Every structure is written in C-alpha cells, then in structure tokens.
Amino acid sequence: MNIHLRAFEKINLKNKKDFPEFKAGDTIDVVTKIKDGDKVRLQHFQGIVLQRRHKNTSGETFTIRKVVSGIAIEKIFPILSPIIDSITILKKGIVRRARLFYLRKDEHKKTKIKMKV
C-alpha cells in the first residue's frame, strides 16, 4: 500500500464515530440527517444488515434491507459518512454467512433469522 494512502486511512479511522459492533443478520436502526431547505431533520431507516464490506478501512460500507408494503428497499451507507447520526442495534441475528443475499430471493415470503436472546 502506498505511504500516503496509509496516512489517509489512519486520519479517517481516527475521525470514525464510535458505533456499536454489528454484523450481517443484525436488525439495526440508522438515524440519518436529511437536509430540507434550511432545516435539518432526522430520518430513521430500520432493517436487516445484508453485508458489511471493507471492514476497518476508510471505505467501509454496510447494506441494509427493509420491506415496506411488499416492496423491498436496500440502502448502502458508508460508515464514515457525516450524514449518519447514530446506529442502534435492535436484534442480534445468528447467521452462518457474511453476506445474506439469499434474502433478496424470498420477497414473497418472510425468511426467519434466528435471534440471540
């Protein structure tokens, strides 16, 4: 890796907010800041984490999926994004995979993920 790139990553990781540790299968609630004209409001996006990519780098992202009225919505959030206000874990899921793309195929039926008690 280039020396400049390493220095850039160290600076970005120092600026990283302290979010809770989550993984694929967890149900989380992401609060984002939305700018409407002059106002800034908070918007919640609650869903299941499908994947978490490039962990512990400045380009780390995670994908969340939720189903509203039978329509699936997926969003990809960069972890270092300034629009993310907070992340809360609602449920811990027990899964054997790092990427849960099989949830995309089961749009018509609800796939159950075992939850930690």
- The 10s digit of each residue's pLDDT in 84-113 is 999 999 999 888 888 988 888 765 555 677
pLDDT of residue 1 exceeding 70: no
pLDDT tens digits, 17-62: 788 899 999 999 999 999 999 999 999 999 999 999 988 777 889 9
**Would you list the domain boundaries of the chain?**
3-105
CATH number for the domain whose boundaries are 3-105: 2.30.30.790
pTM: 0.79
pLDDT per position as a tens digit, 59-74? 889 999 998 888 889 9
Q: Are 24 and 95 in contact (CB under 8 A)?
A: yes
Spell out the alpha helix ranges (H) of 15-114: 102-105
pLDDT above 70 covers a percentage of the chain that reads 89
> Dihedral through CA 97, CA 100, CA 101, CA 105, nearest 10?
120
Kindly report the average pLDDT of the chain as a whole number: 85
